[in-house]
Structure 1
Amino acid sequence: MKAIKGVDVKDKKVLLREDFNVPLKDHHVADNSRIKAALPTINYLRENGAKLILVSELGQPCGHAITDFRMNPVAEELEKLLNIHIENTDEIFGIDARLAIATMNPGDVLLLENLGFHKTEYENDDYFAHSLADLADIYVDDDFRLAAKERASNVAITKHIPSYAGLLMEKELDQIVNFILNIDHPFVLLMGGTNPESKMPVIERFIEIADYILVAGEVGLTFLKAQGHEVGKVNISDTAVAMANQLMCESRLERNPIIVPDDFMIAQEVMPGSSHKFVSSMDIPHDWHVVDIGPRTFEEFNKRIYDARRVIWNGPVGVIEIPDFEEGNRSIAQAVASTEASTMVGGYDTANAIYKYGKADYINVVSTGAESFIFALQAKDIPAIKVLEK
Structure 2
Amino acid sequence: GALRLRLHRRWDGGRRGCARTRRCRTAGEPALPPWRGGERSRLRRCPRTACRSLRQRCVLGRASRPCVHDRRGGAPAERGGAPHAGRAGGARQGVAAPERPVVAVVGGAKVSTKLAILANLIRRVDRLVIGGAMANTFLHAQGVAVGASLHEPDLAADARRIMAEAEGAGCAIVLPTDVAVTQEFREGAEDTVTLVGDVPTNGMILDLGPETCARIEAVLAEARTLVWNGPLGAFEIAPFDRATTTCARAAARLTGAGRLLSVAGGGDTVAALQGAGVLGAFSYVSTAGGAFLEWLEGRTLPGVAALEASVAPKSGP
**TM-score after normalising by structure 1:** 0.60
The alignment status of 1:378 with 2:293, answered yes or no, reads no
Q: Tell me: CA distance 1:299–1:32, structure 2 relative to 1, closer, same or farther (3 Å).
A: same
- The residue that corresponds to 1:236 in the other structure is 151
Number of equivalent positions: 274
- The residue that corresponds to 1:304 in the other structure is 219
Q: Deviations over 1:135-174 (max 9, x none)?
A: 9999x996855977xxxxx689999865876699867644
- The residue that corresponds to 2:272 in the other structure is 353
Q: 1:258 aligns with which of 173, 176, 201?
A: 173
Q: 2:273 aligns to what SS in structure 1?
A: helix
* Structure 1 residues 92-103: aligned runs within 5 Å: none
Q: 2:261 aligns with which of 342, 349, 373?
A: 342
- The residue that corresponds to 1:281 in the other structure is 196
Q: 2:197 aligns to what SS in structure 1?
A: coil
The alignment status of 1:316 with 2:231, answered yes or no, reads yes
The alignment status of 1:364 with 2:283, answered yes or no, reads yes
The alignment status of 1:227 with 2:142, answered yes or no, reads yes
How far, CA to CA, are the matches of 2:97 and 2:177 in structure 1? Answer: 31
Q: Tell me: CA distance 1:193–1:145, structure 2 relative to 1, closer, same or farther (3 Å).
A: farther
How far, CA to CA, are the matches of 1:182 and 1:287 in structure 2? Answer: 45
- The residue that corresponds to 1:245 in the other structure is 160
How far, CA to CA, are the matches of 2:70 and 2:227 in structure 1? Answer: 35
- The residue that corresponds to 2:313 in the other structure is none
Q: Tell me: CA distance 1:273–1:184, structure 2 relative to 1, closer, same or farther (3 Å).
A: same
Q: CA deviation at 1:252?
A: 2.6
How far, CA to CA, are the matches of 1:212 and 1:315 in structure 2? Answer: 16
Moved more, 266-275 or 295-304: 266-275
Q: 2:119 aligns with which of 204, 215, 221?
A: 204
How far, CA to CA, are the matches of 2:13 and 2:267 in structure 1? Answer: 19
Q: 1:311 aligns to what SS in structure 2?
A: strand
Q: Tell me: CA distance 1:236–1:162, structure 2 relative to 1, closer, same or farther (3 Å).
A: farther
How far, CA to CA, are the matches of 2:107 and 2:263 in structure 1? Answer: 14
How far, CA to CA, are the matches of 1:275 and 1:136 in structure 2? Answer: 51
Counterpart amino acid of residue 95 in structure 2: I
**TM-score after normalising by structure 2:** 0.72
Aligned partners of 1:315 and 1:349 also within 8 Å? yes
* Structure 1 residues 179-190: aligned runs within 5 Å: 179-190=94-105
Bigger proportion of residues as strand:
1
How far, CA to CA, are the matches of 1:327 and 1:115 in structure 2? Answer: 29
Counterpart amino acid of residue 277 in structure 1: T
Q: 2:6 aligns with which of 11, 30, 33?
A: 33
Counterpart amino acid of residue 293 in structure 1: L
Structure 2, unmatched stretches of 5+, are: 26-33, 44-57, 310-317
Q: Deviations over 1:160-207 (max 9, x none)?
A: 865876699867644432332321222111111122123232222222
* Structure 1 residues 93-132: aligned runs within 5 Å: 111=20, 113-114=22-23
Q: Tell me: CA distance 1:243–1:363, structure 2 relative to 1, closer, same or farther (3 Å).
A: same
Aligned partners of 2:105 and 2:129 also within 8 Å? yes
Counterpart amino acid of residue 13 in structure 2: F
How far, CA to CA, are the matches of 1:345 and 1:229 in structure 2? Answer: 30
Which protein is bigger by CA-based radius of gyration? 1
How far, CA to CA, are the matches of 2:297 and 2:80 in structure 1? Answer: 22
- The residue that corresponds to 1:327 in the other structure is 242
The alignment status of 1:271 with 2:186, answered yes or no, reads yes
> RMSD of aligned C-alpha atoms?
3.7
Counterpart amino acid of residue 185 in structure 1: R
Counterpart amino acid of residue 278 in structure 1: V
Q: Tell me: CA distance 1:176–1:157, structure 2 relative to 1, closer, same or farther (3 Å).
A: closer
Counterpart amino acid of residue 342 in structure 1: L
- The residue that corresponds to 2:48 in the other structure is none
Which structure is richer in relative contact order (CA contacts within 8 A, separation 6 or more)? 2
Q: Tell me: CA distance 1:160–1:341, structure 2 relative to 1, closer, same or farther (3 Å).
A: closer
